[in-house]
Amino acid sequence: MKPTPGDILAVYNPRLDAYTAVQVTALKAEGKSEVAAVLALDWVGPALPDAAAVATMAPANFNFFFWKDHRVHVWVSAEVPRGYTLVGHRPPLVVEDVKSYSGWPSGSATYSQRRWEAIPQAERDLFKQMDANRDKSVVLKLGDREVLRSTQRLDTDRLAAAPNLAVFEVLPILTSVNADAPIPGLFDFIRRRPFVYESDVRAHGERVVDLRGANLTRLTLEVTGVHELHLNEGLEHLSLMGQASPELKIHAEADGRWLTLSVNNPAMAWSGLDALDGLHVHAAQEVDVAGIVRRFPKLTELRIWGAPGYLRNTSALAALPELRMLTLCDMFGITPDEFPGPERFAHLGMLWLTSIPAELAAEVKKTYKTAAREGLDLSVRQPRKAEWLAENLDNPFRIWDGADTISPTQAKKAATLYRQARSAALKAASEEPSAAALVSALTPIVTTYTEGFNKMDARKTFIYTEEREHIYVALMGIFDAVDEKLRSQGGASAEPLNREALVSVLDSIRDF
C-alpha cells in the first residue's frame, strides 16, 4: 500500500506493549523507487487510536543522551510495511527538509526516551550541562595523555594507566568503555556508570561476567574462557567474539526476548537465550538452518551474511512462524523448491536476498510478487550463476559485482587490485628475514593498492563509508594471510606483522 502525505498510521511495539504512531509528511521519486518522509508522533496507547486521539497527536521530541528536542523524521521506502494500520489523516504536522534515511519508525526511540527518564534527574541534568558546555579541565594526566572532564570514551591505554578506575567516576558524559586487556574491576565500573551505553571488552580473562544493573544498549564481548554471563536489562545488541565453551551459560532479560545476537559461528553449543528475538550471522561458511531453528525457535529476525557460505536445510525456515525480517547475502547451495513460500510467513515484513543463486532469485521474485504488493519489503538483487561463484570465492569485493552504484569495470578492477596485492605480500613474507624489513617491503604494495582505489574514485566518486570499509577489510585479509605465512615459516614464536604501521600508510595516501 502506498500512503498519501498526511496519513497517520499506528504500529504495535512489543517492547512497549503499546501502539505508537507516525505520519507520512511527503513523497518523492528517487531513481526507480519512491520514498516517503515519515515523522514519529508523540502518541502511545494500549489500543489503536480513535479520531479524538488522532486529532491531538503532535511531533514527538526526544532528548535522550545527546539529542535535544530531536525529531525522528526520515526517508523510508514508500511501501507501507505490514503491521502499520491507517488510523487517520491530517495535513502534515511538519514541513521541513528531511536528510536522514532509515526504516519506518516503530517506537524504539520512545522506549529509549523512557529508559533515559528512568535515570535520576540530577545526573541527567549534569549530563546535559556538560554536553552544552564542554569542560576541558584535566581530571587525570597519564604520561603524555590527558583525560578531560568531558571525555566520552575510555579505551585500554587510559584504563590500564589509571591508579584505579574510581578516578573516572567524575566523567559525567562517559558513554563508551572498551578494553582488549585485563582491567581489574572493569565490569563493576561499567555497572556503576549510568550513561555507558556501549562497550567492547576482549581478552579480559574473567570466568564470570556480571553486568546486571548496567545501562548498556550494545555489548561486544569476548567469551573465550567465560562460563557464566549475566546481561543487563535493556541490552539490545550482543556480539559474541572468541571461542565459546559448551559450559557457557548466558542469562538475559526474558531469556533474550528483546535481544539481537551477532556471531560469526552459528554452531552455538552454549546455553541460554532460548527466547532470542534476533540473530545475525557474519562471515558464514556453512550454516544449518535446522540447527538455528532448534536453538532459537522464537526468532523474529534472521540475517545471514556469507563469506561466501552455504545454507543447509533451508526449508526449516518455515518453522519460524514469528519471523518478520529475513536477510541472506552471499549464501548459496539453496534450491528454489526448498525455499518456503510466502504462505509460510504470515508476519514477514522484510525479505532481502542479495548475491544468491540465480534460479532462487527468479523463483522468489515470482512467488513473492503478490506479498510485495501487500506490503512486504522485498529486495532480490545480484543473482549469481555457478560460474560466478567459482570465479569469486577468493574475492572480497564480490559484493561490488552488480551493486547499484558500482560499475562492472570498477568491481573487476577492485578484485584485480586485491589479488595483485595479496600475491605480492605473500611473496614478500617468504623473502624478508625480519618484521621491520617486511613492513618496508609491504609499504609499496599497500601504496599501490591504495593509489589504485584513489584513481578509480577520482574518475567518479563511488567510495563512501561502506565501500571504504570493504577496502579496509580486504587489506586486513591480506595481512591475515601474511601472518599465517609467517607462522608457517617460524612457528608460534614468529613475530606478527606490524599492521598499525601499514594502516597508517593507507590512511596517509587514501583520498576516499
Is pLDDT above 90 for 374? no
Furthest-apart CA atoms within the chain: distance in Å: 79
pLDDT of residue 491: 61
For 297-318, write each residue's pLDDT tens digit: 999 999 999 989 999 999 999 9
Q: Crossing angle, helix 408-431 and helix 435-459, to 10 degrees?
A: 170
pLDDT of residue 193: 96
Q: Nine-digit cell at 137? A: 579541565
pLDDT of residue 492: 55
Of the CA atoms within 13 Å of residue 59, those in its CB half-sphere come to 19
Mean local confidence (pLDDT), 8-25: 97
Give backbone dihedrals phi and psi of 218, rounded to 5 degrees, phi first.
-125, 135
For 257-303, write each residue's pLDDT tens digit: 999 999 987 778 899 999 999 999 998 989 999 999 999 999 999 99
Of the CA atoms within 13 Å of residue 279, those in its CB half-sphere come to 27
Nearest Cα residue to 202 out of 174, 173, 228, 225: 225
Q: Which residues contact 284 (CB under 8 A, 6 or more apart)?
A: 264, 266, 304, 305, 306, 307, 309, 331
Mean local confidence (pLDDT), 234-247: 94
pLDDT of residue 385: 93
Residue carrying the nine cell digits 556480539: 239
pLDDT of residue 452: 97
pLDDT of residue 485: 87
Q: Which residues contact 234 (CB under 8 A, 6 or more apart)?
A: 115, 215, 216, 217, 253
pLDDT of residue 207: 97
For 162-195, write each residue's pLDDT tens digit: 989 999 999 999 999 999 999 999 999 999 999 9
Say how far apart CA 331 and CA 307 lie, in whole Å. Answer: 8
pLDDT of residue 414: 96
pLDDT of residue 488: 83
- Give the pLDDT band of residue 490 (cuts 50, 70, 90): confident
H/E run at residue 53: helix 51-56
Residues 375, 349: contact at Cβ < 8 Å?
yes
Q: Mean pLDDT over all residues of the chain? A: 93
For 443-480, write each residue's pLDDT tens digit: 999 999 999 999 999 999 999 988 999 999 999 999 98
pLDDT of residue 140: 86
Residue carrying the nine cell digits 604501521: 501
Is pLDDT above 90 for 61? yes
Degrees, nearest 5: CA angle 189-191-193:
70
Say how far apart CA 204 and CA 181 lie, in whole Å. Answer: 5
CA 179 remoteness from chain centre: 20
Is pLDDT above 70 for 442? yes
Mean local confidence (pLDDT), 499-511: 93
For 136-168, write each residue's pLDDT tens digit: 899 888 777 889 999 999 999 999 989 899 999
Beta-bridge mates of residue 378: 351
Say how far apart CA 122 and CA 112 lie, in whole Å. Answer: 18
Is pLDDT above 70 for 493? no
pLDDT of residue 345: 94
pLDDT of residue 146: 87
